[in-house]
Structures are given as structure tokens and as C-alpha cells.
Amino acid sequence: QKEVEQNSGPLSVPEGAIASLNCTYSDRVSQSFFWYRQYSGKSPELIMSIYSNGDKEDGRFTAQLNKASQYVSLLIRDSQPSDSATYLCAVNNAGGTSYGKLTFGQGTILTVHP
Amino acid sequence: GAVVSQHPSRVICKSGTSVKIECRSLDFQATTMFWYRQFPKQSLMLMATSNEGSKATYEQGVEKDKFLINHASLTLSTLTVTSAHPEDSSFYICSARALETQYFGPGTRLLVL
């Protein structure tokens, strides 16, 4: 069983719509959760981090965390063609020798079409 | 803030040579840096964890004698690919940890001929 799972997509949404990206994780003691955006041929860029249950908003982006359901999501409002990229969900391991390591999902490819 | 640089951005070398890649945290100190490799259309694969002043911790299946890591200061980690072969051609990306968050460098694209 994969530790962090994402739907690989591709997810296609029209410009101006809301894009919803989902992620589930298996390690119940995970504490820190991140969304990175990766354009083709580039390295990942941090979009959001979230540590507590509930919603966290930053501009057009909203991260949602539900630890009971082991579920993290990212909503992108007013999607733009420039949002087209692969979105990586990452979970920080809880501790011990794995402290600080991130476990990544496979990524969801998002395409925003004009 | 939290800017990470890598050098070189792209390198082409002949089979059998060694290549050194530098990773620097420009505006913060990083006791821990990470080295990843990414093949086309695949996700990031963690190669090793680099800790300042101590030996790196390698992931299972990564040859520590082939991928030499040195983390001599709080702002610099280096990865040396020794005796590179065409199968080592990949996108190598470092990250530096600040508190709970990893910030990624721009990556180094290695092509071994």
C-alpha cells in the first residue's frame, strides 16, 4: 500500500473554475502536510503547508486537512492556464530516524484550458 | 526568504568521469539537506539525507560509494556522482530543511554520454 496516494489525473478544468486536488496518507501519526507545484522540467515549488485540522487559505489556494480521515486536499479558485502543472502532496514523517523526510505522492497533473 | 540554489544547472559529461553538484541555502542555515533524483514522468525519489557535520544517510538501493555526499557547512551540501554512466543521467534536486518545511533548489540536469 502506498504511503501517500494521489489521483494521477490528468485533471482538466476550464479557466476560472475551481480545481480540487486530493491526497490520502497512511501514517496516522503524520503531523505536517505540504503541497508543492512542479512545472514540467522544473523543481518543486512550495505552495502551502498545513499542520492543523481545518482549512488554510492563501490567495487563490486553500488547503484542507482532516487527520481523522487521513485526507489532505488543495483547492485552487479561479484557475488560470498558468496553474497547469503537476501538484505533489507531501507528508512529513513523524519522528525517529525518519524525522524531516517527506513522503511524496505520485502527483496530480492539472491542466487548465482557456 | 528560504532560497536554495544549485550549481551547475546542467552538465554533460563523458562516461566514467565524476561530477560534483553543489546545493546552497542562501538565506538560512540548514542542518539537514536532502538529495533527490527524478527520471522523466516519474515522481521524486529520495536518495539520501545530508546532515551537517556527520555522515549522510542513504536510502535503500542507493550506492553510497557512487553518490558521495558532503555537508561541510550549514549552508552547503555537495553530491558527487563518481564514475558516472549513462544510466545516471537524470534530474538531481536538492532541498534544504527549515523547521518542518523543505525548500527545493532548481535542480541539476545531468547527461552522461
Question: pLDDT of A7-40, one tens digit each?
Answer: 888 999 999 999 999 999 998 888 899 999 999 9
Residue with cell 535503500: B60
| Distance, CA of B43 to CA of A105 (rounded, Å) | 8
| Distance, CA of B45 to CA of A8 (rounded, Å) | 17
The pLDDT tens digits for A64-80 are 999 999 999 999 999 99
Burial profile A24-62: b = 16 or more Cβ within 10 angstroms, e = fewer:
bbeeeebebbbbbbbeeeebbebbbbbeeeeeeeeeebb
Per the CB < 8 Å rule, is B49 touching A104?
A: no
10-residue mean pLDDT series, chain B (113 residues): 93 97 94 94 91 90 95 93 97 93 96 97
Helix/strand number for chain A, H first, E second? 0, 11
How many angstroms separate the CA of residue A36 from the nearest CA in chain B?
Answer: 10
What is the distance, to the nearest Å, from the Cα of residue A26 to the centroid of all Cα atoms in its chain? Answer: 15
Look at residue B102 in the predicted model and tell me its pLDDT. 92
Look at residue B53 in the predicted model and tell me its pLDDT. 85
pLDDT at position A2 over 80: no
- What rounded mean pLDDT belongs to chain B? 94
Look at residue B43 in the predicted model and tell me its pLDDT. 86
Q: Which of A42, A43, A87 to mutate to test the interface with B (most CBs of B within 10 A)?
A: A43
Per the CB < 8 Å rule, is B46 touching A49?
A: no
- What radius of gyration do chain A's Cα atoms show? 14
